[in-house]
Structure 1
Amino acid sequence: MKNFYLLMLCCFALVHTTFAQQLKSPDQKFQMEFSLQSDGTPVYSLNYKGKVVVKPSKLGLELKNDAKSLLNDFTISDTKTSTFDEVWKPVWGEVASIRNHYNELVVTLNQKVSERQLIIRFRLFDDGLGFRYEFPAQKNLTYFVIKEERSQFAMAGNHTAFWLPGDYDTQEYDYTTSKLSEIRGLTTKATTENVSQKTFSPTGVQTSLMMKTADGLYINLHEAALINYSCMHLNLDDKNMIFESWLTPDANGDKGYMQAPDHSPWRTIMVSDNATEILSSKMTLNLNDPCKIEDTSWIKPVKYVGVWWEMITGKSSWAYTDDFSTVQLGVTNYDKSKPNGKHGANTANVKKYIDFAATHGFDAVLVEGWNEGWEDWFGQFKDYVFDFVTPYPDFDVKGIRDYAKSKGVKMIMHHETSGSTRNYERHMDKAYQFMKDNGYDAVKSGYVGPILPRGENHYNQWTVNHYQYAIEKAADYKIMVNAHEAIRPTGICRTYPNLIGNESARGTEYQAFGGSKPNHVTILPFTRLIGGPMDYTPGIFEMDISKLNPGNTSHLNSTLANQLALYVTMYSPLQMAADLPENYMRFADAFQFIKDVAIDWSDSKYLEAEPGEYISVARKAKGTNNWFIGNVNGETARVSNITFDFLEKGKKYEATIYADAKDAHYKTNPQAYNIRKIKVNNKSKLSQFSAPGGGYAISVIEIK
């Protein structure tokens, strides 16, 4: 009787699915299965070390004005498996070389009635799964419009998630930590005010989505190689715990205009039972194409200061004058206006920053608010906002260029588009040539406010293509790009390493807008940084913003030691010392760490991590035998225990430890820190206190 029931169970399974195609990771810890349901619907599942990560989940795309779409009625016409293993060297990065090792399954599907073909490509790494849809050239699928992608991620439980509300226009929210089942009830509270936002569902969330299961698995859902496609969000069926892809629409509500041959971005699922392995994963980069820039010698990591924080806090202004209620470039005569006395980007002030950079070994100076138009730049759906080449009367472009050059300091250009992408493209060649003519090798671009043309969103296909156009055009001029308010990164910096930074998340500026949660920086490396580095702009030493601007009562939810640690834990080849020079001089001994810390690395070791609670990282400075360590801590004080076994055997080092004092607290005593020096080697251990919202930073210098 038992065998009879087993036989019937097998027959029942065969009715609902075809024979499953299996794929294992190189280390055999992952197993993926692919099959077709009885109606020809593609389905996949994923296990890790015998534990279910993704239950059987449907794949496919719904097409506009197409009765069949690409959802079902498929048969398998071909399957191919292969193995790939290479080592490649990034232009800059957390490590000097990256191994790209995966097993691949390529499934070719034929749709019987429409006689169309769809390919689904799976790559299984030792750290997770990537899959994408491919649309080969064919007679019956040429031009088509995506109504919605229907990729599912069926979770095996009610996991704890670290999430942002699903939004077409911003990622600049604090993270909410909750069970999946609680998202619906918390979305309204989690959707805090932003200058441009458009949420779409009470259970919609953004990628990169970090989760933890009850039995200790860490799961991350994201995408890689987002090119010519709309950004993917996730919408949760909270009754069945199934996430489904939700693409960003355009002004018409359409979610993608495609022409075969083409393919989607990769959908990624990272899994580990150790949180540090999520942080160290290079899967997102590996799913992107190799570098397309032949000569990369001009792409260099940058440590910079800038005329920025004084405007963010309200101490000074971007605008030159208060005389005009509205301005028109080429018509408004700034020479006849009265300066407001608050304009930060004036020649004398900028030279002070150049002097500071030269004295303390910084590579560059960023200046915002240097160009005409800031009096009337936001909120009017204004197309012709800036021309990116005309300075205010008090900003001497040539004089500053020559002064910076004489001091051995580079200048970083600022291009705020006010969301007017058409205007930026209209001026881009002229603006980039202006930069090269005046010695600017890097640009910080911004996309604050609603996107123009009207109705487009920050994350839909049209605007994603604009961001890519800007990166590629900049590469033609040998310009590095740091894009703010743009699409969240998906590893494209491998293909175009002149993309040396993005914001695309809630950065330090929000500490001057009311503050971020003290655990914010313990989540970002698990989420936003999965796709690439962030220009987080750390290094704020004066936490009481009212001391810069009495009208601003904001307070940083961070200790000073935490701010130092961010230079290590928030990886980026573009790092800013964001505070005012005078505040660094008040704490000159702590400022020494910012001066010393490297920004390009040959190796990185994630020592301990728990999303939302703490992260400790050690990184080896490229071309040296020196290491730097950073620890950031969340809301609860703890003792961090690390070992120095990553140090070279037989070598001795001096470790300078910048740590929270015992009474430090992000709210009540943020500037309490101490500095001490100890001798260490590869057998040394350290137990170090981290305050609430605190942390520590360590420079580990080889003793010659």
Structure 2
Amino acid sequence: MFSPDKTKHVVVGLENDSIYYSFFNNKIPVIQKSLMGIELNEMAWKGLSVTEVKKDASRTQWEPLWGTQQSYPDYYNALTVKLKDKNSNTYTLLLRMYNEGLAFKYEFEIAEKSSLTLKNELTEFNMANHSKSWVLAHPWGKKYKKNMQVSQIKKVSLPLLSKSEKGHYIFITEAGLYNYGSLHLSANPNGSLSAEIVGDVKLKPEFKSPWRVVMVADAPAYFVEHSYLIQNLNPPSKIKNTSWIKPGISTWDWRARGAKEDGFEYQLNTESMLRFIDKTSELGLPYFMIDAGWYGAEHEKASNPLTTIPEIDLPRISKRAKEKNVGLWLYVNRVAFEAFDTDTLLAKYKAWGVVGIKLGFLREQNQTGVALLQHVLEKCADYELMLDCHEAVIPSGIERTWPHFLTREYNHSFMDGGYVASPVDHTITPFLNNVAGPIDVTPGFFDIDKMKARTYVKSELKSTIIAQAAMCVTYFSPLLCLPDIPEAYQRKPDVFEFIKGLPLSYDASKVLIGDIEKTYVVARRKDTTWWIGGVTNEKGGEIEFPLEFLGEGNYEATIFLDGKHTTWDKNREEFTKENSIVHANETLKLNIAPGGGVCIKLELK
């Protein structure tokens, strides 16, 4: 079966009682002959015969409620292969060939069983001539390893990005993850990667697996620009009235705790929350998020999320938020959802005027964790509450079906512990984690030189103020949680206004420089205004890119760069600002500081 543009094709065959597939790009093998299938404890994947082969096609497009572009093309050719085993049980392979890549999944019906148990998923990815890979070495997507040989890969989380000896790139992930464990990969002795599903999996007699996705391109920037493929493999939105789902920027109290400002110290108390709300309103931002601790120790089952600690008067806080037209987000640990009735919790929060929930420490990548996330997600939809999930399972495009699921922390954001992301990390993560879906990186520190004195900041930030602002563009998320105190943004209004103007949902997105491990520059447009963000590794250097994407007309350019003597570990808060008029026939040439960034706003005049 060929892709709509005829550049890619897949071959599926039954051989020696096993199903195999091979995937080609321009007739060059991308995935060599690899196994497919699912084994159950109740029955083996044996005695197979093909009973039906059907081909189909679809040429549609759809508009997301929020996203990286105004509409997403959904063009594919489909192949359905029906199989029967020696006991007349029926299995179905569903394959779709897109211009962007291949997707396939499994379905089966076992009539005489009330429940089934997964023994093994047989899926393999035999990548042809691959020399190096970037993989996630932590189940929450927090840490990556680069330059991995395929033979070294063991129980890695998805996505996986790999480069072949011939120069093309492969991106492997999953889509539509429901009622199943997350897919991890390990190397086989024969050089292929095999599926390892996290934890035990109980299945119903009628079952549909998640999609397995393989994209191929000449450069990793392609995956960033075509990441909508993962959403395409999910059903349309189940929420009819979406008026309450609104992308936006939120202030956030967690990293502020311990900050001192004009004799005032931000703490976990009512006065700090009221001050945050007042300042959020002054800044003109729509949301404020209260993080862990407001109802007690977050990991303790004895902590009652229907009450508050004595230092927190939540009714008073929510009243002030309503008066100031600031939407309130609340952190709730997974322990609370396991120990208390979800309807009771969410009804209480809705009565308090809360607009969104941050689900913390989901942690488990198994079927139980996936099911809990889905349960909370569906209940939040019932109560019209948006959701942000931390320590989450892999993004798999389910935000198309549930657009109130704005973002998740499937990444190593600016953490509390000893590890802090290095500049090079931010030239890799957009090509890996962020392709799978929106991620909550929490960039935007301004008081970089003073932040280590705070309660939940234990290491120096390896970044600059302009790199921090640029990441608000380079990382895509429709919910942007700013980590600093409001006063820090008021002290640097020019850079803050750049961030504040970001719509967080765009009509178009284009990677201008996608040099993984070196430099990443992306442009995003809403109406006639473009926002450009760029970051570089520890070396920095000169960059240039043409402005031909602008089209006709004169554009007023506002350009922010780090200071002349700024690096990721020195003079981090210094920056410059300049204005000019630019046209589509020009090429911008800029110098980015080591570990620094660039922010550009282009307005049509």
Structure 2 residue corresponding to 1:132, chosen from 99, 105, 130: 105
Structure 2 residue corresponding to 1:346, chosen from 263, 269, 273: 269
CA offsets 1:497-550 (integer angstroms, 9 cap, x no match):
01011112211225x633122222222222222232111111012334665249
CA drift at 1:206: 1.0
Contact 1:559 1:671 in 2 (8 A): yes
User: SS where residue 441 of structure 1 aligns?
Assistant: strand
Q: Counterpart of 2:256?
A: 310
Q: Counterpart of 1:320?
A: none
Q: Counterpart of 2:433?
A: 528
User: SS where residue 102 of structure 1 aligns?
Assistant: strand
Specify whether residues 141 and 662 from structure 1 end up closer, same or farther in structure 2 by C-alpha distance, changes over 3 A only.
farther
Structure 1 residue corresponding to 2:309, chosen from 367, 392, 406: 392
- 2:211 aligned with 1:211, yes or no? no
**How much identity, in percent, do the aligned residues show?**
29
CA drift at 1:65: 5.1
Specify whether residues 369 and 207 from structure 1 end up closer, same or farther in structure 2 by C-alpha distance, changes over 3 A only.
closer
User: SS where residue 310 of structure 1 aligns?
Assistant: coil
CA offsets 1:397-427 (integer angstroms, 9 cap, x no match):
2222222222221111121234x6521xx33
Contact 2:255 2:456 in 1 (8 A): no
Q: Counterpart of 1:476?
A: 382
Q: Counterpart of 1:48?
A: 25
Contact 1:357 1:364 in 2 (8 A): yes
CA distance in 2, matches of 1:616, 1:89: 25
- 2:538 aligned with 1:635, yes or no? yes
Q: Counterpart of 1:542?
A: 447
CA drift at 1:181: 4.7
Specify whether residues 680 and 235 from structure 1 end up closer, same or farther in structure 2 by C-alpha distance, changes over 3 A only.
same
Q: Counterpart of 1:444?
A: 358
Contact 1:386 1:417 in 2 (8 A): no
Q: Counterpart of 2:185?
A: 234
Report 1:229-628 matches (<5 A).
Answer: 229-237=180-188, 239-249=189-199, 254=200, 256-281=201-226, 282-311=228-257, 344-369=267-292, 371-374=294-297, 377-378=298-299, 382=300, 384-418=301-335, 421-423=337-339, 426-447=340-361, 458-510=364-416, 513-544=418-449, 547-549=452-454, 554-621=459-526, 624-628=527-531
Q: After TM superposition, which residue ranges in structure 1, 4 or more long, deviate above 6 angstroms?
A: none
CA distance in 1, matches of 2:112, 2:594: 60
User: SS where residue 282 of structure 2 aligns?
Assistant: helix
Higher mean C-alpha deviation, range 138-147 or range 499-508: 138-147
CA distance in 1, matches of 2:472, 2:579: 20
Higher mean C-alpha deviation, range 46-55 or range 583-592: 583-592
Contact 2:221 2:431 in 1 (8 A): no
The one-letter code matched in structure 1 to 2:358 is K
CA distance in 2, matches of 1:546, 1:360: 20
Q: Counterpart of 1:17?
A: none
CA offsets 1:528-587 (integer angstroms, 9 cap, x no match):
222321111110123346652499661112222111111111011101221122332343
CA drift at 1:275: 2.1
Contact 2:255 2:454 in 1 (8 A): no
The one-letter code matched in structure 2 to 1:476 is D
CA drift at 1:225: 0.2
The one-letter code matched in structure 2 to 1:417 is R
The one-letter code matched in structure 1 to 2:208 is H
CA drift at 1:217: 0.9
CA distance in 2, matches of 1:369, 1:553: 17
Contact 2:464 2:572 in 1 (8 A): yes
CA distance in 2, matches of 1:495, 1:240: 38
Contact 1:152 1:244 in 2 (8 A): yes
Contact 2:129 2:166 in 1 (8 A): no
CA offsets 1:629-664 (integer angstroms, 9 cap, x no match):
111212332322222222241x22211111133432
The one-letter code matched in structure 2 to 1:345 is L
CA drift at 1:141: 5.9
Specify whether residues 214 and 639 from structure 1 end up closer, same or farther in structure 2 by C-alpha distance, changes over 3 A only.
farther
Q: Counterpart of 1:86?
A: 60
* Paired residue total: 601
CA distance in 1, matches of 2:275, 2:418: 26
Contact 2:141 2:433 in 1 (8 A): no
Higher mean C-alpha deviation, range 429-438 or range 464-473: 429-438
Contact 2:466 2:562 in 1 (8 A): yes
Q: Counterpart of 1:98?
A: 72
CA distance in 1, matches of 2:239, 2:249: 23
The one-letter code matched in structure 2 to 1:296 is T
CA offsets 1:235-267 (integer angstroms, 9 cap, x no match):
112x43211110011xxxx2x111122210000
TM-score, normalisation: structure 1: 0.82
User: SS where residue 492 of structure 1 aligns?
Assistant: coil
Contact 2:151 2:191 in 1 (8 A): no
Q: Counterpart of 1:673?
A: 575
Q: Counterpart of 1:188?
A: none
Specify whether residues 182 and 638 from structure 1 end up closer, same or farther in structure 2 by C-alpha distance, changes over 3 A only.
farther
Contact 1:354 1:365 in 2 (8 A): yes
CA drift at 1:128: 0.5
Supply the RMSD in Å over aligned alpha carbons: 2.2
Contact 1:577 1:594 in 2 (8 A): no
- 2:146 aligned with 1:177, yes or no? yes
Q: Counterpart of 1:329?
A: none
Specify whether residues 105 and 702 from structure 1 end up closer, same or farther in structure 2 by C-alpha distance, changes over 3 A only.
same
CA distance in 2, matches of 1:349, 1:668: 31
Q: Counterpart of 1:24?
A: 2
CA distance in 2, matches of 1:585, 1:501: 26
Contact 1:538 1:578 in 2 (8 A): yes
Contact 2:259 2:266 in 1 (8 A): no
Q: Counterpart of 2:121?
A: 149
Gaps of 5+ in 2: none
Gaps of 5+ in 1: 1-22, 185-202, 317-340, 452-457
CA distance in 2, matches of 1:550, 1:439: 28
User: SS where residue 466 of structure 2 aligns?
Assistant: helix
Specify whether residues 428 and 561 from structure 1 end up closer, same or farther in structure 2 by C-alpha distance, changes over 3 A only.
same
User: SS where residue 639 of structure 1 aligns?
Assistant: strand
Contact 1:285 1:531 in 2 (8 A): no
Contact 2:542 2:590 in 1 (8 A): yes
Contact 1:116 1:141 in 2 (8 A): no
Q: Counterpart of 1:656?
A: 558
Specify whether residues 288 and 352 from structure 1 end up closer, same or farther in structure 2 by C-alpha distance, changes over 3 A only.
same
Structure with higher strand content: 2
CA distance in 1, matches of 2:409, 2:296: 23
CA offsets 1:295-329 (integer angstroms, 9 cap, x no match):
11111102110211124xx659xxxxxxxxxxxxx
CA distance in 1, matches of 2:329, 2:282: 18
User: SS where residue 525 of structure 1 aligns?
Assistant: helix
The one-letter code matched in structure 1 to 2:436 is G
CA offsets 1:259-307 (integer angstroms, 9 cap, x no match):
1222100000011113221101111000001111111111110211021
CA distance in 1, matches of 2:221, 2:443: 22
CA drift at 1:166: 5.9
CA offsets 1:358-417 (integer angstroms, 9 cap, x no match):
11111011112453322xx44xxx5x2433221222322222222222222111112123
CA distance in 1, matches of 2:295, 2:436: 34
- 2:194 aligned with 1:222, yes or no? no
